[in-house]
């Protein structure tokens, strides 16, 4: 039959659209209004100290738009004008220094794309399948291009002779918000790839991501990426702050806990089809896609299984994996309406292969909360609907 | 090679920001506080979230109890059962608590609150006084409960072998479904649109100046950590403030007021524009020993704005 959208003249083909002054800063068109961050209310006591989730089921490519990139605050997202911003470097340095935002803009800067994943991403799934949607199971992640100054540049500006042997030294980093969220980072990492960033995806950081300045700690758990960064102290040991003792430590089955579990291991998830992104087009060509990442290097390969891990095939990487950044993968499939148990399995440049959830549970028990990088399963029904399940 | 950017930090600046306390006690300022004083402070400042006995309210963290539960199905991780260093508790209370009014406690108050948390975990007696001098003598039960990340030895070799690609298992069964638990938030994007608010044309401008109300809404952000207004508002650290202007003091249902406020309420205190401004300018002077841990609004225009905003909340 003739399609009236083609045979009849449509209003948008006849009259005007918006002028260039309609939206000086544009928002997504109204038809995409469901592509937003979401909160799981029962997780936390209060939205001021809480987390929401990136709608990864509805995004493609690898760069996360700032406007829907997950937020995690411990005392709310604060309003800190860049004119009022100060960064202090103190402790075991030759000269303790204070920088203004304008000072920071005068240092040589670099651009890097990195993922930031909360250590608790997928943490609700330790005891079994709980949340129905890739946004909720895997959405505590975003991936942005950061512009900023290597932390080592600022440490050198203050001078590290006073610190002596750097091998056993640390930096303590803290934010300007009421939680201050201090974390200790070994000097080796601080001097390696840590960035003091003030732009993301080309524009100023959003308030919820630490405007005007945040720390970027590539490959390491998101809690260390201190927002509203106000102080870096060179120290001869870790502070053992609340965020590195009572939180962000991983309780093992025997009750002992791992601490300093900073690195995010290789992980992947099929973002579509998935519970929030069912198949609606019937049989035939189907794009199966997802994201893979590793905090210890780059993604070299992703395998996809359609039958719950019995058989695997290599997916197509949209682009070669890069260091500590998201990689997009595709498996172009001819779907004949069969049930599928969709899984993905990431390989990284160290040779590490993403384990199953049961392999992790055998190592750690069920109480770790953090660092759950096990293989996810979506049960896709004949109807095209999908559900979060676990398989034998 | 340096660029000569930035300027030296002054001693006072470093002192103001360099507050962290180390496990060996470095960074602790001189001071002391007793369990008894700590209990009073805890009830006033902390119990709304953490419970009078530090047992935790709703989803807020429990700070006491949980002994010998770390190997259980659901470990209870409290200061007593889990935290390896007392310095962490002092540092955190000092820098980040009370929630919504961080860095408002004196050093002695922090010592007292930490002493009370220890007492509520049965780690000290009720006559205990914590100070910078005896700080390191307190034994934390789980001090030896941590190991440094050993994934490189225990996990990476196991998870770094070439994986199976075909016929990797005999059968695949679904063992668990998320739908059975059904804890996923509802997608409200498909829900019916909210009804248009009813617009009533006021005959005369009886209410507060709308501009002042808008300014007050911004000021209220400083109150919102503890107080809610509007539809669905609930008592939190502080009482609901809907309709507070013109209301007798201490009248919000189900809120535990301080003794100080209850006494003034009995004397007939009414929250009108004047009393509210006086209270919010200097809470501790207007109502000594009340439990609102807010230092006060310094600017007259902020006071006028917040009262206008509260007036608009009916």
Phi then psi for residue B80, to 5 deg, are -75, -40
Q: Is the pLDDT of residue B257 over 60?
A: yes
Query: Which of B107, B137, B167 corresponds to the end of one domain?
Result: B137
Q: Is the pLDDT of residue A120 over 80?
A: yes
Dihedral (C-alpha) B284, B48, B304, B282: value to the nearest 10 degrees? 10
ipTM over 0.90: yes
Q: What is the pLDDT of residues B94-152, one digit of tens each?
A: 999 998 889 999 999 999 999 999 999 999 999 999 999 999 999 999 999 999 999 99
CA distance B86 to B23: 7
Q: Is the pLDDT of residue B88 over 50?
A: yes
Q: Is the pLDDT of residue B195 over 50?
A: no
The enclosing domain of A151 has a CATH number of 3.90.420.10
Answer whether B119's CB lies under 8 Å from B35's CB.
yes
**CA of A113 vs chain B CAs: smallest distance (Å):** 25
Residue A68 within any structural domain of the chain: no
Q: What is the pLDDT of residues B206-221, one digit of tens each?
A: 678 888 888 888 788 7
**Closest chain B residue to A99, measured at CA:** B6
Query: Which of B77, B106, B137 corresponds to the end of one domain?
Result: B137
Q: How many residue pairs from chains A and B have C-beta atoms closer than 8 A?
A: 250
pLDDT of residue B193: 43
Q: Is the pLDDT of residue B198 over 50?
A: no
Tell whether A233 and A333 lie within a shared domain. Answer: no
Q: What is the pLDDT of residues B267-286, one digit of tens each?
A: 889 898 888 888 998 887 88
Per-residue pLDDT averaged across A79-105, rounded?
Answer: 98
Q: Write out the residue range of the structural domain in which residue A287 sits.
A: 267-389
Flag if A390 and B164 touch (Cβ within 8 Å).
no
**Closest chain B residue to A242, measured at CA:** B88
Answer whether A66's CB lies under 8 Å from A209's CB.
yes
Tell whether B124 and B26 lie within a shared domain. Answer: yes
Q: Is residue A187 very low, low, confident or very high in pLDDT (cuts 50, 70, 90)? A: very high
Q: Can you read off the two tokens belonging to residue A92?
A: 């075991």
Per-residue pLDDT averaged across A84-110, rounded?
Answer: 98
CA distance A380 to A291: 18
Which residues of chain B are within 8 Å of residue A246 when distances are taken between CB atoms? 77, 79, 82-83, 88
Q: Is residue B188 very low, low, confident or very high in pLDDT (cuts 50, 70, 90)? A: low
Give the whole-number percent of chain A exceeding pLDDT 90: 97
pLDDT of residue A248: 97
pLDDT of residue A269: 98
**Closest chain B residue to A124, measured at CA:** B183
**CA of B174 vs chain A CAs: smallest distance (Å):** 4
**Closest chain B residue to A374, measured at CA:** B159
Q: What is the pLDDT of residues A373-387, one digit of tens each?
A: 999 999 999 999 999
Which residues of chain A are within 8 Å of residue B182 when distances are taken between CB atoms? 132
Q: CB distance from A387 to chain B under 8 Å?
A: yes
CA distance A62 to A77: 25
Residue A273 within any structural domain of the chain: yes
Q: Write out the residue range of the structural domain in which residue B275 sits.
A: 210-311
Q: Is the pLDDT of residue A87 over 80?
A: yes
- Only one residue has tokens 């260039």, namely A20
Which residues of chain A are within 8 Å of residue B17 when distances are taken between CB atoms? 88, 90, 230-231
Per-residue pLDDT averaged across A74-87, rounded?
Answer: 96
Which residues of chain A are within 8 Å of residue B59 when distances are taken between CB atoms? 42-46
Which residues of chain A are within 8 Å of residue B73 when distances are taken between CB atoms? 366-367
Give A125's DSSP letter: G
H or E segment to which residue A101 belongs: helix A101-104
Distances, alpha carbon A295 to alpha carbons A172, A266, A336, in Å: 21, 7, 37
Flag if B146 and A179 touch (Cβ within 8 Å).
no
Which distant-in-sequence residues (6+ apart) come within 8 Å of A89 by Cβ? A96, A97, A99, A154, A155, A157, A158, A231, A232, A233, A234, B6, B9
Tell whether B216 and B117 lie within a shared domain. Answer: no
Which distant-in-sequence residues (6+ apart) come within 8 Å of A65 by Cβ? A59, A201
Could you tell me which of A171, A159, A154, A156 has the C-alpha nearest to residue A236?
A: A171
Q: What is the pLDDT of residues B10-61, one digit of tens each?
A: 999 999 999 999 999 999 999 999 999 999 999 989 998 999 999 888 889 9
Query: Which of A221, A256, A291 corresponds to the end of one domain?
Result: A256
Among A185-199, A285-299, B181-195, B268-282, whose mean pLDDT is lowest? B181-195
Kindly tell me the burial class for residue A11, based on how many C-beta atoms sit within 10 Å of its own C-beta (0-12, 13-18, 19 or more).
exposed
Residues 171-190, chain A, touching B (beta carbon < 8 A): 172, 174, 178-180, 182
Tell whether A95 and A208 lie within a shared domain. Answer: yes
Which residues of chain B are within 8 Å of residue A368 when distances are taken between CB atoms? none
Q: Is the pLDDT of residue A31 over 80?
A: yes
Q: Total structural domains in chain B?
A: 2
Among A179-183, A352-356, B157-161, B193-197, whose mean pLDDT is lowest? B193-197
Residue A40 within any structural domain of the chain: no
Flag if B159 and A249 touch (Cβ within 8 Å).
no
Helix residue ranges per DSSP H, chain B: 11-17, 35-41, 47-50, 86-96, 107-120, 151-154, 178-181, 210-220, 259-266, 273-281, 283-286, 300-311
The enclosing domain of A330 has a CATH number of 2.60.40.650
The enclosing domain of B114 has a CATH number of 1.10.760.10
pLDDT of residue B286: 87
Q: Is residue B181 very low, low, confident or very high in pLDDT (cuts 50, 70, 90)? A: low
**CA of A132 vs chain B CAs: smallest distance (Å):** 6
């Amino acid at each position: 039959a003739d399609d009236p959208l083609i045979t009849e003249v449509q209003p948008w083909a006849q009259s005007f659209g918006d002028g260039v002054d309609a939206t000086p800063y544009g928002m997504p068109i109204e038809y995409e209004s469901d592509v937003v961050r979401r909160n799981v209310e029962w997780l936390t006591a209060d939205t001021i100290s809480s987390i929401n989730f990136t709608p990864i089921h509805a995004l493609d490519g690898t760069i996360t738009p700032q406007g829907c990139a997950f937020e995690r605050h411990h005392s709310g997202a604060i309003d800190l004008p860049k004119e009022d911003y100060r960064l202090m470097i103190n402790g075991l340095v030759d000269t303790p220094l204070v920088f203004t935002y304008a000072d920071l803009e005068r240092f040589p800067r670099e651009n890097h794309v990195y993922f930031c994943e909360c250590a608790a991403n997928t943490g609700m799934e330790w005891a079994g399948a709980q949340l129905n949607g890739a946004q909720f199971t895997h959405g505590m992640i975003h991936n942005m291009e950061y512009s900023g100054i290597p932390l080592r540049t600022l440490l050198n500006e203050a001078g590290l002779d006073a610190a002596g042997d750097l091998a056993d030294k640390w930096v303590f980093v803290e934010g300007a918000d009421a939680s201050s969220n201090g974390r200790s980072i070994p000097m080796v990492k601080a001097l390696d790839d840590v960035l003091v960033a003030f732009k993301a995806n080309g524009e100023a950081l959003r308030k919820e991501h630490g405007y005007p300045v945040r720390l970027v700690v590539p490959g390491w758990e998101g809690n260390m990426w201190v927002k509203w960064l106000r102080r870096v102290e060179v120290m001869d040991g870790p502070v053992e702050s609340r965020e590195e003792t009572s939180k962000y430590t991983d309780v093992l089955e025997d009750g002992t806990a791992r601490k300093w579990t900073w690195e995010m291991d290789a992980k992947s998830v099929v973002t579509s089809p998935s519970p929030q992104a069912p198949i609606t087009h019937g049989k035939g060509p189907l794009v199966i896609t997802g994201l893979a990442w590793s905090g210890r290097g780059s993604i070299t390969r992703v395998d996809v299984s359609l039958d719950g891990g019995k058989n695997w095939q290599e997916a197509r990487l949209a682009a070669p994996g890069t260091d500590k950044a998201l990689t997009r993968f595709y498996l172009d499939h001819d779907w004949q309406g069969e049930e599928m148990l969709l899984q993905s399995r990431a390989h990284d440049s160290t040779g590490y292969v993403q384990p199953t959830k049961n392999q992790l549970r055998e190592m750690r028990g069920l109480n770790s909360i953090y660092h759950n990088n096990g293989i996810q399963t979506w049960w896709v029904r004949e109807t095209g609907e999908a559900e979060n399940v676990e398989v034998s | 090679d340096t660029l000569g950017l930035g300027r030296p930090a002054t001693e006072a600046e470093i002192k103001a920001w360099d507050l962290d306390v180390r496990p060996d006690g470095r960074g602790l300022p001189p001071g002391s506080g007793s369990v008894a004083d700590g209990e009073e402070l805890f009830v006033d400042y902390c119990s709304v979230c953490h419970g009078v006995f530090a047992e935790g309210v709703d989803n807020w963290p429990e700070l006491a109890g949980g002994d010998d539960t770390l190997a259980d199905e659901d470990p209870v991780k409290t200061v007593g059962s889990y935290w390896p260093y007392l310095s962490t508790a002092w540092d955190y209370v000092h820098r980040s608590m009370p929630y919504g009014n961080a860095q408002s406690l004196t050093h002695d108050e922090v010592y007292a609150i930490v002493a009370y948390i220890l007492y509520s975990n049965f780690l000290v007696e009720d006559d205990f006084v914590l100070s910078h001098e005896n700080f390191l003598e307190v034994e934390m039960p789980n001090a030896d409960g941590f190991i440094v990340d050993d994934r490189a030895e225990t996990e990476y070799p196991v998870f770094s072998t070439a994986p199976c690609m075909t016929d990797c298992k005999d059968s695949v069964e679904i063992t668990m479904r998320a739908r059975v638990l059904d804890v996923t938030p509802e997608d409200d994007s498909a829900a019916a649109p909210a009804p248009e608010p009813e617009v009533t044309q006021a005959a005369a401008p009886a209410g507060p100046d709308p501009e002042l109300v808008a300014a007050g809404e911004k000021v209220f952000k400083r109150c919102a950590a503890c107080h809610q207004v509007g539809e669905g508002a609930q008592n939190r650290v502080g009482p609901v403030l809907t309709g507070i202007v013109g209301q007798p003091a201490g009248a919000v249902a189900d809120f535990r007021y301080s003794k100080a406020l209850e006494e003034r309420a009995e004397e007939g205190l009414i929250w009108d524009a004047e009393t509210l401004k006086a209270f919010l300018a200097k809470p501790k002077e207007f109502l000594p020993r009340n439990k609102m841990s807010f230092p006060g609004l310094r600017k007259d225009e902020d006071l006028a704005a917040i009262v206008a905003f509260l007036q608009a909340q009916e």
